[in-house]
Structure 1
Amino acid sequence: MLRLWRASVYSWNGLTFATRSEQAFREELVALALALPLSFVIGTTAIRRVELVAVVVLLIVVELLNTAIEKLANRRSRGHASDHRSGLVRGTRRAHRPAVR
């Protein structure tokens, strides 16, 4: 039971960190907040509603994985850089972001 509690605390800490430090994550949370009520308007069946919300949740999961990879790569390449905005990987991702969106 203690292991489950610690895992929950670590997950919560990770989500709060992502919310504070990642603009894209905050934007995707807004998209999720909009997708929930819109799924009832747009979705004709329950399955369609779940699919509409699941796409946004999947986007959030991918963003969290991307953030984790960025942090690990920046830590590895810079040797524990304290400023998370100066990372090498982040700059590379930002350069390619217009092609993705």
Structure 2
Amino acid sequence: MNRILNAFRNSWNGLSHVIRNEAAFRQEAAIFLVSLPVAYFLADSVFVFLLLTGSLVIVLTTELMNTGLEALCDALSRETRDEIRIAKDCGSAAVALTITLAGVIWLSVIAQKFGLLPLP
């Protein structure tokens, strides 16, 4: 039971850190919260609701991983090094890809909902 409590505490600490210190995470979290009722309105099924909200959870998760990667890189060295730049750029690219995926999912569902994208 202690292991579960410690894992929860560590997770909470990480979440608290990004909420306090990372503007990008706060923006994405705000979008997620505002999007919940919109997803409910747009969704014709539980699956579509989970697809819409899940795509945004993936963005938040990737942002958390990127923040952790950046913190690790900064702890290893503050020097300008190609390897650290590549690691940080790749983390940023991962966030950009998940945001793009979420955008495509949301736009597809919206287009389908309003008859702009017929179902096959």
TM-score by length of 1: 0.77
Partner Cα distance (1:53, 1:35) in 2: 8
Quote the offset at 1:70 in angstroms.
0.2
Q: How far, CA to CA, are the matches of 1:49 and 1:6 in structure 2?
A: 32
RMSD in angstroms over aligned alpha carbons?
2.2
How many matched pairs? 87
Cross-structure match for 1:84: none
Distance 1:28 1:14 in 2: 16
Instruction: Note the 1:1-101 alignment, pairs <5 A.
Output: 1-78=1-78, 100=96
Give unpaired runs (5+ residues) of structure 2.
Answer: 100-120
Gaps of 5+ in 1: 80-87
C-alpha distance in structure 2 between counterparts of 1:59 and 1:27, whole Å: 11
Query: Shift in Å at residue 78 of structure 1?
Result: 2.5
Moved over 6 A (4+): none
Structure with bigger gyration radius: 2
Structure of higher RCO (CA pairs closer than 8 Å, 6+ residues apart): 2
- Per-residue Cα deviation, 1:28-78 (whole angstroms, up to 9, x for no partner): 111110121111111111110110000000000000000000000011012
Q: Distance in 2 between matches of 1:42 and 1:34?
A: 13
40-49 or 65-74: bigger deviation: 40-49
